[in-house]
Amino acid sequence: MNASTLDEAVALTKKFTSKPSNEELLKIYSLYKQATEGDNNEERPGGFDFVAAAKYNAWLALKGKSKEDASEEYISLVNSLSTKYI
């Protein structure tokens, strides 16, 4: 089963039967945020919230990538991961 739209790809991630690696999860998260919201303009998380900081940095690294390109990469990534996790 391959997704062809962002919504289909999001639905496909919900069918994963095992959890992707943290690196894969960060890539999924950052591409989704870039595809749906564009560049990261949020405040950097403070303190010792390392998960929030990792997510922030992963999204920030995609600055300048168009929503369309991020969406295409997200769909492609989810499709490739689905062969491993479904």
Q: pTM to 2 decimals?
A: 0.95
Work out the pLDDT band at 67, boundaries 50, 70, 90: very high
Q: Which domain holds residue 74?
A: 6-85
Position 46 scores a pLDDT of 87
Encode pLDDT of 4-47 as tens digits: 999 999 999 999 999 999 999 999 999 999 999 999 999 999 88
Residue 1 lies in a domain: no
Residue 67 lies in a domain: yes
Q: Which of 24, 31, 30, 23 is nearest to 55 (CA)?
A: 30
Q: In this model, does residue 72 exceed pLDDT 80? A: yes
Residue 48 lies in a domain: yes
Work out the pLDDT band at 1, boundaries 50, 70, 90: confident
Domain count across the chain: 1
Q: Is 61 exposed, middle or buried (0-12, 13-18, 19+ CB in 10 A)?
A: middle
What does the buried/exposed string (b/e) look like for 16-33 if buried means 16 or more CB atoms within 10 Å of the residue's CB? eeeebeeebbbbbebbbb
Which CATH number is 23's domain given?
1.20.80.10
